[in-house]
Structure 1
């Protein structure tokens, strides 16, 4: 999830663990702990694109990280804080560290929660920014801050915020299942045979859902809003994997394919090849658009056998255009 959400969640968890003992300082340390797992983005500055993608949401988003570094940070804080309970601070950091990847596991990218196992949990029920999850948590956290440390209201406000956000997260599982059945029915009605289907919410909401459907030669992309009155339609994108036949066995290409879980196409423009990760959809909802959120220029030097992937930059006007299109699409067809 986005940094603000993880800060707010960490603060609420910190309050739940130690708020009665140390007041708002529990929120302060919880907020810090909520941001620490995302420091893995530092890898972007020191490694190549493929390695950075593999590191992101890996070890720092695991149970192992929480078990090791929760007590370590708890010990450090207990050394200089007036409240000297090592156990109390260790529990605060442990739970703040652990709830961070658990929440991230509900997004499309997912987390390597069970590191070192090569398994990335991605339930794909919530977008990385979702106001309906964050705002109730934030509002009740603010109300909590202005209550006395031992006040009963303080605990009620914080628990209410956590309950509402968690209930919403549970609701997204139901919404995903409902959308999934709609896509299945549409495929059956159109006599489309497929190998597998993958669904996820569109940005900032859980009303509009997207689906990737794999067939033998292409991927079908479709969308469904709970306000739709027209049948679901699908747009086909050829896999074009023959374009990288000469690179298919390259170690970096294999790693990129593994990262994308096989949900990728290859496109060609101006004699240049691009690797398109389908899991995060398009930057435009216009039919036939090939502007993918995660699109990488493939650069290969046959002399050195060096293969590089360069992510194409996203422009502010792309996001503005997408938000406008999303609003129209959410209202249904």
Structure 2
């Protein structure tokens, strides 16, 4: 999830663990704990594109990290914060660290919660930025913050924030199940034979959902809004896996393909090869739009294969917001 959401969650968890004893400092250190796992993004900048992708939401998003570094940070905090014991501070940091990846596991990218095992949990029931999850949570947290330490209202407001946000998360899982049924029914009605289907919400909402559908030689992408009145349409994107050519034996390319979990296409432009990661969708919900949110340019220089992530177009991102608003209202 986005940084603000993780800060709010960490602060609320910190308050739940130690707020009665140390007041707003529990929120402060909880917010820090909610931020620390995402520092892996900056570590990734020291490496090549593929390694950075592998690092993100790996070690720092694991149970191992939460346990070991929860104690380390708890001990460090206890050296100058004497109102709680080392064990209490360690418990606060542990819960701040562990709730971060648990929340991330509900997004499309997922998280390697059981590192070093190569298992990445990704339930794909919420977008990385969802105002309906974050804003009510933030309001309750602020209401709690301005209550005195130990006050009944303070705990009540904080608990309400945790309950409302968790309830919304549970609802998104139910919604995902409903939309999966809608897509599967549409495929059956249209006589489309497919191998696999995955669904996920489009950016910033849980009203409009998209589906990636694998067929023999192409992937289909379709959209469904709860306000739709017409049948779901699916748009085809050829796999073009044959374009990989001599790159198929390159270790970096193999690692990149592994990261996509098999949801990828290839395209060519200006004599360059591009791998498109389908899991994160397109930069528009318009029919047959071709620009993917995550795309990687594969080139060769001095007999070495280079992989670079294609920068996302900010103007296209702005257009996406407008497109989403229109499409959410129905087809």
TM normalised by structure 2 equals 0.99
| 1:322 counterpart (320, 323, 326) | 320
Tell me how far apart the structure 2 counterparts of residues 38 and 44 of structure 1 sit (CA, whole Å).
10
Instruction: Report how far residue 245 of structure 1 moved.
Output: 2.3
Residues 281-320 of structure 1, C-alpha deviation per residue, up to 9 Å, x if partnerless? 000222221100001111123x52x212111112221111
Specify the alignment match of 1:234 in structure 2.
234
Residues 55-92 of structure 1, C-alpha deviation per residue, up to 9 Å, x if partnerless? 00000000000010001100110111121411110110
Tell me how far apart the structure 1 counterparts of residues 276 and 8 of structure 2 sit (CA, whole Å).
33
Runs of 5+ unmatched residues, structure 1: none
| 2:308 counterpart (273, 297, 310) | 310
Tell me how far apart the structure 1 counterparts of residues 227 and 84 of structure 2 sit (CA, whole Å).
55
Tell me how far apart the structure 2 counterparts of residues 315 and 264 of structure 1 sit (CA, whole Å).
20
Residues 11-40 of structure 1, C-alpha deviation per residue, up to 9 Å, x if partnerless? 000000000000000000000110000000
Specify the alignment match of 2:133 in structure 1.
133
Q: SS of 1:279's equivalent? A: strand
Tell me how far apart the structure 2 counterparts of residues 212 and 22 of structure 1 sit (CA, whole Å).
48
Residues 160-201 of structure 1, C-alpha deviation per residue, up to 9 Å, x if partnerless? 000000000000100000000000000000010011001100
2:72 aligned with 1:97: no
Instruction: Report how far residue 2 of structure 1 moved.
Output: 0.2
2:206 aligned with 1:206: yes
Segments ≥4 residues shifted beyond 2 Å = none
RMSD (CA atoms)? 0.8
Instruction: Report how far residue 44 of structure 1 moved.
Output: 3.2
Q: SS of 2:247's equivalent? A: coil
Q: SS of 1:99's equivalent? A: helix
2:197 aligned with 1:188: no
Query: Matches of residues 66-85 of structure 1 in structure 2 within 5 Å?
Result: 66-85=66-85
2:32 aligned with 1:32: yes
2:21–2:84 Cα contact (<8 Å) kept: no
Specify the alignment match of 2:56 in structure 1.
56
Instruction: Report how far residue 270 of structure 1 moved.
Output: 1.8
2:323 aligned with 1:331: no
Specify the alignment match of 1:282 in structure 2.
282
Specify the alignment match of 1:121 in structure 2.
121
Tell me how far apart the structure 1 counterparts of residues 320 and 84 of structure 2 sit (CA, whole Å).
50
Specify the alignment match of 2:157 in structure 1.
157
2:44–2:55 Cα contact (<8 Å) kept: no
2:199–2:209 Cα contact (<8 Å) kept: yes
More off after superposition, 244-253 vs 191-200: 244-253
2:85 aligned with 1:112: no
Count of aligned pairs between the two proteins: 331
Tell me how far apart the structure 2 counterparts of residues 197 and 150 of structure 1 sit (CA, whole Å).
49
Q: SS of 1:274's equivalent? A: strand
Tell me how far apart the structure 2 counterparts of residues 308 and 91 of structure 1 sit (CA, whole Å).
44
Tell me how far apart the structure 2 counterparts of residues 202 and 250 of structure 1 sit (CA, whole Å).
33
